[in-house]
Amino acid sequence: MVAVSFLASCERRTEVRFEGGSTPKFLLSGSGRLGTTIIYGPEQEKIADRDPSDKTYAIWEMEPERKGEDAAVPVEGLSVTYGVLLPGYKQVKPQSGAPPALSPGRRYRYWFVTINAPGASGYFEIRDGNPVPVNGP
C-alpha cells in the first residue's frame, strides 16, 4: 500500500503530442498543473542560447486568470489549441485579438510552464498542413 501511494505521488514530466492541422493542438500528459503557455515565433532561435526565457519573440501566451496552484488546471489529458484560451485563463500576448497564423516550414518553440512537475518545451513546424516535432537550434 505504501509503495502504491509513493508511486502515485511521484512527479511525472509533462509530455507533449501533436494533433490538428495548421492550427496545432497540443495534447499534454503529466502530473503537474498548467501555469503559463508560450508559443515563440521563428525569431526566438536568435536568442535561444543566450536566454531561453526571453519573451521578446513570443507570439502567443496565456496564463491562469487567478494566482495560485488551484487556478491552474491539471495537464493530464489536457488539450491546448494554439490561440484558444482555456476556461479560467487569460491571453497575455498578443494583448488583444488572435495570434498570427503559423507559416509552413518555419520552426516555432512551445513552452508549457507547469506547477508541481517539470514542464515541457520544444520545437515544431507545420508540414503538409500538420504540426510535427522538430529538433531545436
Q: pTM to 2 decimals? A: 0.85
Question: Confidence class of residue 31 from pLDDT cuts 50, 70 and 90?
Answer: very high
Sheet hosting strand 130-134, strand order edge to edge: 89-93, 58-64, 33-40, 108-115, 120-127, 130-134
Alpha-carbon gap, residue 80 to 85, rounded angstroms: 8
Phi, psi at 120, each rounded to 5°: -140, 140
Question: Which of the pair, 70 or 133, is modelled with greater confidence?
Answer: 133
To which H or E segment does residue 132 belong?
strand 130-134
Alpha-carbon gap, residue 131 to 82, rounded angstroms: 11
Q: What is the pLDDT of residue 6?
A: 46
**Complete domains list, the chain, with CATH:** 12-134 (2.60.40)
What separation in angstroms does the CA of 51 have from each of 42, 79, 137?
Answer: 15, 28, 13
Question: Confidence class of residue 4 from pLDDT cuts 50, 70 and 90?
Answer: very low
Q: How far apart are the first and last CA of the chain?
A: 45
For every residue of 109-125, DSSP letters joined together read: EEEEEEESS--EEEEEE
Q: Give me the mean pLDDT over the 22-33 stretch.
A: 94
Q: What is the pLDDT of residue 45?
A: 67
pLDDT digits (tens, 9 = 90+) for 33-82: 999 999 999 877 666 556 656 788 899 999 999 887 788 999 999 999 99
